[in-house]
Amino acid sequence: MKNNRFGKVSALEKDQLDVIISCLPDNHHRVIASICRNAACRISESTQLTWSSIGESVILFPKTITKGELYSREIAISSSLEKNLTNGGSSGEKRNYEMKKLLSYLPISVHV
């Protein structure tokens, strides 16, 4: 556990991060988290995207929204991101169970 710059940081595994994203509401929260996870972009970059920036197979991050505004970049759309962009995914009941299971491993108290 890390506290006041002391201690060791533990990172989430890819599947743990996917479970957290799948437990988010099926609206813009899940879309933003999915874009950030799959495109390795900043939240500010994902929230400034428009639907015209999202093509059939790539997302275009115009240089005007990237850090430093140096260049535009294109990121391929993965199948999991495509599912979240089209409001696919698992049922709410299954997501809640998976979220409770994941949170039981974390050293914090969260009520779902």
pLDDT tens readout for residues 50-90: 888 888 889 999 999 888 888 999 999 888 888 777 764 44
Helix, strand or coil, per DSSP, at residue 75:
strand
Residue 76 lies in a domain: yes
- Give the separation between CA 4 and CA 99, rounded to whole angstroms: 27
Mean pLDDT confidence for 30-42: 89
Confidence check: pLDDT of 95 > 60: no
Question: Rounded to two decimals, what is the model's pTM?
Answer: 0.66
Structural domain count, the chain: 1
Q: What is the CATH number of the domain that holds 35?
A: 1.10.443.10
- Give the separation between CA 21 and CA 23, rounded to whole angstroms: 5
Residue 49 lies in a domain: yes
Residue 110 lies in a domain: no
Residue 93 lies in a domain: yes
Range of the domain at 65: 12-103
Neighbours of 33 (CB within 10 A): 19
Q: Is the pLDDT higher at 6 or at 43?
A: 43
Residue 5 lies in a domain: no
- Give the separation between CA 4 and CA 60, rounded to whole angstroms: 38
Residue 86 lies in a domain: yes
Decide the pairing of beta strands 6-7 and 2-3: antiparallel
pLDDT at residue 87, as a whole number: 62
Question: Which pLDDT band holds residue 11 (cuts at 50, 70, 90)?
Answer: confident
